[in-house]
Amino acid sequence: MNAQAILKPYVIGLDLGGTNSVFGIVDNRGEIKATTAIKTQGYNSAEEYVKAAVEALQIIIDQVGGIEKIKAMGIGAPNANYYKGTIEKAPNILWAKEIVPLAEMFSQALGVPVAMTNDANAAAIGEMAYGVARGMKNFIMITLGTGVGSGIVVNGQLVYGSDSYAGELGHVTMVRENGRPCGCGRKGCLEAYCSATGVARTARQMLAESTEPSLLREMNAEDITSLDVSIAAGKGDKLANEVFLFTGKMLGEACADFATFCSPEAFVFFGGLTKAGDLLMKPIVEAYNNHVFGAYKGKAQFLVSVLDGSSAAVLGASAIGWDIQ
Amino acid sequence: MNAQAILKPYVIGLDLGGTNSVFGIVDNRGEIKATTAIKTQGYNSAEEYVKAAVEALQIIIDQVGGIEKIKAMGIGAPNANYYKGTIEKAPNILWAKEIVPLAEMFSQALGVPVAMTNDANAAAIGEMAYGVARGMKNFIMITLGTGVGSGIVVNGQLVYGSDSYAGELGHVTMVRENGRPCGCGRKGCLEAYCSATGVARTARQMLAESTEPSLLREMNAEDITSLDVSIAAGKGDKLANEVFLFTGKMLGEACADFATFCSPEAFVFFGGLTKAGDLLMKPIVEAYNNHVFGAYKGKAQFLVSVLDGSSAAVLGASAIGWDIQ
């Protein structure tokens, strides 16, 4: 540990979600020393949000010995531009409909450097710093939540690309003819099939297209979630199992394509859908090995994040704080 | 220019192809000061090949003032492993059917450090050092020759991945149902459609499936090459034009997927097929803009290599010599 790490042993991590903003003060082993949270919404401006955030933060900053113990702050947020430290037109955050220089605003309010990245990238950095990707230089993080996000690490560095918007693997086209409409306005994207909402859509589609009995038929089709499909599959429901086979096969084939970019050591999966465990992971690995280019066969590991869901995002955000020079 | 560059102003570049091995001695502005070549084949062992190469090299090394003027050597070769400096089981090179430590062999024979990479990666590095990608930190090089190769640059570094075999974008799956057999043993790969041989296959398929008149019907179908298709298209042949529309559309859609990985500043195309010019490039750009994820729209440039075909590979190989520490 260098001198500065001893003098300033902590970073602040902020997981800025559509509903809640969770703060943690983290040491360099990934231990969360103090935590607090505010609602993300309900402010008329970014200034009001930052003011409320800093008020909440001040309490936990004092708990760890004051701002002089804090090296930096890292933020994981939707539509974050890493290069500019801005949130850019986040559709679900009322005070960020335009371009908000959030990193600079926090930096001025707190007096420490602040870096910002998007949530999937923060998860990848967290996994590299504290999780199953520790020590890896080349891996792909895939987040399976409401959408399909990704964070790509090459040569030990996160891939930001020319404009900070690299790593949108949820929007590769998997179905080129008559693909499902995707939230992005295009059709056939991986996300339209393999997100949590995509899994529910697949279940509704299979229920409509077959007469096979299924526990899921007891529900209102529109109310089915990926969790319901997972529970039904766990009970041996054949149709629900087919939903996961379909989802895993598509994810495995997509990963086979992703391998041609960066020949990763591992694919790391994160997010609600991974709770389905082997129901999802087995067909992913099987489809990957059936489809991948010969040179990559059998090389990549398929891992599920071991970081606890609620703290992973805060840890990931904090990890980018350590990287600020 | 630092002191060492003044003392050792040159690197050797070797473009090791299936037929010819072309050597150049290159200065740090990319000027080729002397050049020579030997046949790649006709040797019973790698030792014999290196001996013949060093004999030919000695003459041009003397021309530039002796080996003390040479900083390093860079090799671009098929099946090259950058991390290990080996050629690994190159199917078309008789003396490299197993694993040959070619970098070390040249280094011992010449007394200078030697690095090695594959041909598409060498082209990408050459383009970054001396070509249209000068100054770029994030771009994708796509080589359209007998196969479809690629070299990917992220954060100013070539992407080698976990095993040195990253950047095989010719083997993403573009057609998931009833895809064309590819040379790699799989089906539906980009390379099976968009390489020079893929273009000839598309022409034969379109000729067989339609009764449309075409200049290409005057030829024996098996003899048609991508150059013939290009010449016919240039004369206004409708079917030949459709071949390029089909090829460009698929390449543009593939590039739209590639953008989600690294959001590149540019796609740089290289190789025989690029001689078709706008016949190919216009449909690529059109399909890209029609298919790409919104955040990337209109950002990436589509460029054709300006390095002269014969020297580009030597320049690319030499450029990796400069990078040796």
- Distant-in-sequence, close-in-space partners of B209: CB < 8 Å, separation ≥ 6: none
Q: What distances in angstroms separate CA B296 from CA A98, A167, A191, one per listed residue? A: 18, 11, 17
- Measured in Å, how far apart are chain A's first and last C-alpha atoms? 15
Query: SS3 letters for chain B?
Result: CCHHHHHCCEEEEEEECCCEEEEEEEECCCCEEEEEEEECCCCCCHHHHHHHHHHHHHHHHHHCCCHHHEEEEEEECCCEECCCCEEECCCCCHHHCCEECHHHHHHHHHCCCEEEECHHHHHHHHHHHHCCCCCCCCEEEEEECCCEEEEEEECCEECCCCCCCCCCHHHCECCCCCCCECCCCCECEHHHHHCHHHHHHHHHHHHHHCCCCCHHHHCCHHHCCHHHHHHHHHCCCHHHHHHHHHHHHHHHHHHHHHHHHHCCCEEEEECHHHHHCHHHHHHHHHHHHHHCCHHHCCCCEEEECCCCHHHHHHHHHHHHHHCCC
The size of the A-B interface in CB pairs under 8 A is 136
Cβ burial of B37 (10 Å; 0-12, 13-18, 19+) is: middle
Chain A residue with minimum CA distance to B190 = A257
Instruction: Name every residue whose Cβ is closer than 8 Å to that of residue B222 and which is 6 or more positions away in sequence.
Output: B204
B162–A186: do the CB atoms touch at under 8 Å?
no
Give the other-Cβ count within 10 Å of B210's Cβ: 11
Chain A residues close to B291, C-beta within 8 Å: 173, 186
| pLDDT of the residue at A252 | 98
Closest by Cβ to B162, choosing from A184, A258, A263: A263
Mean pLDDT computed over B219-228? 95
Q: Who contacts A196 (Cβ-Cβ below 8 Å, separation ≥6)?
A: A144, A145, A146, A225, A226, A271, A272, A273
**Among A162, A265, A299, beta carbon nearest to B264:** A162
Q: Compute the nearest-CA separation of B24 from chain A (Å).
A: 30
Which of B257, B230, B252 has the alpha carbon at shortest distance from B243?
A: B230
Interchain proximity A262–B299, CB inside 8 Å = no
d(CA B93, CA B325): 30
Structure tokens at A244: 């996961």
User: DSSP state, A39?
Assistant: E
Q: Please enumerate in sequence order all residues whose Cβ is within 8 A of that of A324, keeping only pairs 6 or more positions apart, or say none.
A: A71, A72, A74, A113, A114, A115
**The predicted structure's pLDDT at residue B258:** 98
* Confidence band for B3, pLDDT divided at 50, 70 and 90: low
Count of other CB atoms within 10 angstroms of residue B1: 7
Which of A263, A267, A288 should be substituted to probe chain B, the one whose Cβ sees the most B Cβ atoms within 10 Å? A263
**Could you give the CA distance from residue B228 to residue B238 in angstroms, rounded to a whole number?**
13
Partner-chain contact B165 A295, CB within 8 Å: yes
Does residue B310 have a pLDDT over 70?
no
Chain-chain contact of B161 with A258 (C-beta, under 8 angstroms)? no
- Do A161 and B262 lie within an 8 Å CB cutoff? yes
Distance from the Cα of A232 to chain B's closest Cα (Å) equals 30
How far does the CA of residue A202 sit from the closest CA of chain B (Å)? Answer: 19
pLDDT exceeds cutoff 90 at B324:
no
User: Which residue from B minimizes the CA distance to A137?
Assistant: B162
State the smallest CA–CA distance between residue A67 and chain B in angstroms.
33
Torsion B32-B38-B39-B41 (CA) sign: negative
Determine the distance from the C-alpha atom of residue B43 to the mean position of all C-alpha atoms in its chain, rounded to a whole number: 25
Tokens (6 digits) for B211: 């009764």
Is it the case that residue B299 has pLDDT exceeding 70? yes
- Cα distance between residue B290 and residue B116, in whole Å: 38
Residue with tokens 């429901």: A237
- Residue A120 or B267, more confident: B267
Identify whether the C-beta of residue A136 lies closer than 8 Å to the C-beta of residue A97: no
CB contact under 8 Å between A154 and B173, yes or no, is no
Rounded to a whole number, what is the distance in angstroms from the first to the last CA of chain B? 15
> Do residues B20 and B39 make contact, with C-beta atoms less than 8 angstroms apart?
yes
Cβ-Cβ contacts under 8 Å, B257 against chain A: 172-173, 257
Identify the CA nearest to A173 among candidates A192, A160, A159: A192
CB contact (8 A) between residue B260 and residue A169 = yes
> What is the amino acid identity at position A163?
D
Q: Which residues of A touch B294 (CB under 8 A)?
A: 184-186
- pLDDT for B89 equals 86
Residues of B with Cβ-Cβ distance to A159 under 8 angstroms = 154-155, 261-262
Q: Which residues of A touch B192 (CB under 8 A)?
A: none
Q: Looking at residue B248, what is its pLDDT?
A: 98
ipTM: 0.92
Distance (Å) from the alpha carbon of A51 to chain B's nearest alpha carbon: 31
Q: Would the CB atoms of A185 and B159 count as touching at under 8 Å?
A: no
How many residues are present in chain A?
325
Distance to chain A for B147, nearest Cα, Å: 14
The pLDDT value given to residue B58: 97
d(C-alpha B226, C-alpha A324), whole Å: 51
Cβ contacts of A90 on chain B, cutoff 8 Å: none
pTM comes to: 0.92
- On whether the CB atoms of residues B120 and B104 are closer than 8 A, the answer is no
Beta-strand relationship, A70-76 and A32-39: unpaired
Hey, what's the torsion of the CAs at B104, B106, B112, B116, to 10 degrees?
A: -70
Amino acid letter, residue B162: S
By a Cβ cutoff of 8 Å, what residues of chain A touch chain B?
Answer: 137-138, 152, 154-155, 157, 159-176, 184-186, 253, 256-258, 260-265, 291, 293-296, 299-300
Yes or no: say if B213 and B245 are a contact pair by the CB < 8 Å rule: no
Q: Is the pLDDT of residue B1 over 60?
A: no
Q: Cβ separation of A155 and B152 shorter than 8 Å?
A: no
User: Which residues of chain B lie closer than 8 angstroms to A99, CB-CB?
Assistant: none
Contact yes or no for B257 and A257 at CB 8 A: yes
Instruction: For residue A75, give the amino acid letter.
Output: I
Q: How confident is the model at residue B312 (pLDDT cuts 50, 70, 90)?
A: confident
Q: Is the pLDDT of residue B99 over 60?
A: yes
Structure confidence at residue A5 (pLDDT): 62
Per-residue pLDDT 10s for chain A (325 aa) are 456 567 899 999 999 988 899 999 999 888 999 999 999 999 999 999 999 999 999 999 999 999 999 999 999 998 899 999 999 988 888 999 899 999 999 999 999 999 999 989 999 999 998 899 999 999 999 999 889 999 999 999 999 999 999 999 999 999 999 999 999 999 999 999 999 999 999 999 999 999 999 999 999 999 999 999 999 999 999 999 999 999 999 999 999 999 999 999 999 999 889 999 999 999 999 999 999 999 999 999 999 998 866 688 899 999 998 888 6
Residue B55 Cα, gap to closest chain A Cα (Å)? 35
Tell the residue number behind the tokens 């598509």, with chain if given: A250
Higher model confidence: residue B194 or residue B130?
Answer: B194
Confidence at residue A92, expressed as pLDDT on a 0 to 100 scale: 80
Q: Please report which helix (H) or strand (E) contains residue A142, including its range.
A: strand A139-144
Mean pLDDT value across chain B: 94
Closest chain A residue to the Cα of B153, Cα to Cα: A161
